A and B are shown apart, each in its own frame.
Chain A
Amino acid sequence: MKEEAKLMDCTQFKEIYQELDRPGTSGYRFRERALSHAEACPRCGALLTEGEALDFALRNLADSSARWEASPRIEANLLRELQQAKLAGSRQRVRKQFAILGAAAAVLLALGIGVHQRITSGVRTNSLEAANGIGSPTTGTATGAVAGGSTTPGESNSAAGASANQADDNEYAEDFVPVPYADDPAASEGGAIVRVTLPRSALASFGVPITESEGTDRVSADLIVSQDGTPQAIRLVSQENANSDF
């Protein structure tokens, strides 16, 4: 016994004596040696006794407090909180679903508007192509309207073979007249009608006859411009109640 006790000195004993009963510790591993040392060494023996007394007192306290529990009120509060959290969670889910549905509806609406605009612009392109075809120099008469043009009965008695087209509610336009240097009809395909305001004197360059006194006025006209930018045909546009000047 004394031989074993010599294997542990007081310093080592003090290191481990508080955990002799705690599994997994070095104190637990060297428990027997520590006890032997304590038997042989009065000072370490006293330490061990004090430690055991403390262990005992602590276990008493632990046992005394083992049945301490929070009041049932806390459990009730927590259950209420859990129910509210559950409710809030389901509300959040519903809100999320609404948000997703709203976003989907917005996307569908945007798509619908896009498709509608595309169809409308397709119709406009067709109208333009129709206008180009009508304004072809080969026919000799440009009868295409810019947009929604229709013959106004009251205005059609001015010239035979020339129909007045209503380009707007307030304006009237004559038929397109090919300009003298117009290319072949194919050149105007894919072109565009451009509204211009120009001095009346400039009309002469498009082959429109003018008198000298009219030279300073400015007039509106629609030009059919080919893809390369060359004017192919022209028509004058006059406001309501104003008669064509040529």
Chain B
Amino acid sequence: MDDGLLLRRMIAGDEWSFTLLYRRRHPAIYRFALHMSGNVAVAEDVTQEVFMTLIRDVKKFDPARGTLSSFLFGIARNHLRRRWEQDRHSVALPDDADELETLLAACAGAGKGTPSNGNGRAHAPFLVRRDEFTSLETVARVRQAIATLPENYREAVVLCELEEMSYEEAASALDCPVGTVRSRLHRARALLAEKLHDEQPLRRASAVGE
């Protein structure tokens, strides 16, 4: 059952269709909000607001302009920006870092050491010591490095790298040209590499050496 059908049924008042749609789409919105804000409460509020907006203003969604997913990310982005305008310091991670670490630790078990390699992504012949990056500590470092990126770059990384969106999908969600997404992502990755390298080199030598 595609999003369009669920949406039509939802408009007709079918609660079950809405529930299905919510359960299908909310995790990505929640993750996006959490990566962007670093605050669980904000992420939950934003997720709720996104779907409240869908309930109240569903007619604003125009399938000709993009997918429902892009539409929802767009709303989430607007809500996050509004929040930041109200409370600028909510972007800062440190206050909620412990909460996030707990969350990450809880999730670490399942994904440990086996990062998804679906999506046809093959590794280059250069070997990297994966165990260096599977640790919770490394994951937290990467997350914190992402959190310190400028907002536009952070959005690009979260959508294209963490949510594995294509440039086109991200461009639709961010309401900007594909080329902009691409250049932001390149710049964001360069900054991330720099930040991680500054904190602790990524041990290229040993990686290459093996």
- Chain A residues within 8 Å of B, Cβ to Cβ: 18-25, 35, 38-39, 45-46, 48-71, 73-75, 77-79, 81-83, 85-86, 89
Contacts and interface: CB of A to CB of B under 8 A. Distances in A.
A49 B55 contact: no
B44 A85 contact: no
Contact of A57 (B31, B116, B117, B142): B142
B97 interface: no
B90 interface: no
Interface of chain B, helix or strand or loop or mixed?
helix
Interface in B132-177: 133-134, 136, 138-139, 141-143, 146, 157, 161-164, 166-167
Interface stretch (B61-69, B77-85, B190-198): B190-198
Interface of chain A, helix or strand or loop or mixed?
helix
A77 to B, nearest CB: 6
B95 interface: no
A61 B126 contact: no
A53 B206 CA distance: 12
Contact of A50 (B43, B122, B204): B204
A53 B123 CA distance: 10
Contacts of B13: 86, 89
A58 B161 contact: yes
B104 interface: yes
Contacts of B128: 49, 52-53, 56
B139 A74 contact: no
Q: Which 9 pairs across A and B sit closest by C-beta, in order of nearness?
A: A63-B111, A59-B115, A21-B121, A53-B202, A62-B162, A57-B142, A70-B47, A70-B30, A58-B161
B51 A78 contact: yes
Contacts of A35: 124-125
B130 interface: yes
Contacts of B164: 62
Interface residues of B, number: 69
Contact of B139 (A19, A23, A57): A57
B19 A57 contact: no
A38 B111 contact: no
Nearest to A46: B204
Contacts of A18: 185-186, 189
B199 to A, nearest CB: 12
Contacts of A81: 52, 55
A65 B104 contact: yes
B108 A57 contact: no
Contacts of B193: 50-51, 54
A49 B182 CA distance: 20
B204 A65 contact: no
Contact of A65 (B55, B107, B123, B125): B107
B26 to A, nearest CB: 6
B161 A62 contact: yes
Given A38-B124, A68-B34, A45 B167 contact: no
Contacts of B15: 79, 82-83
A81 B136 CA distance: 38
Nearest to B164: A62
Given A53-B133, A83-B15, A66 B167 contact: no
Contact of B122 (A21, A48, A59): A21
Nearest to B29: A70
A246 B200 CA distance: 130
A35 B122 CA distance: 12
B207 interface: yes
A14 to B, nearest CB: 9
Q: Which of B26, B124, B143, B182 has the most CB of A within 10 A?
A: B124
Given A18-B186, A70-B44, A52 B52 contact: no
A25 to B, nearest CB: 7
A60 B166 CA distance: 19
Interface string B81-118: 00000000000000000000001100110110011110
Contact of B110 (A50, A67, A71, A74): A67
A61 B124 contact: no
Given A64-B104, A70-B48, A50 B197 contact: yes
A24 B166 CA distance: 9
B115 A54 contact: no
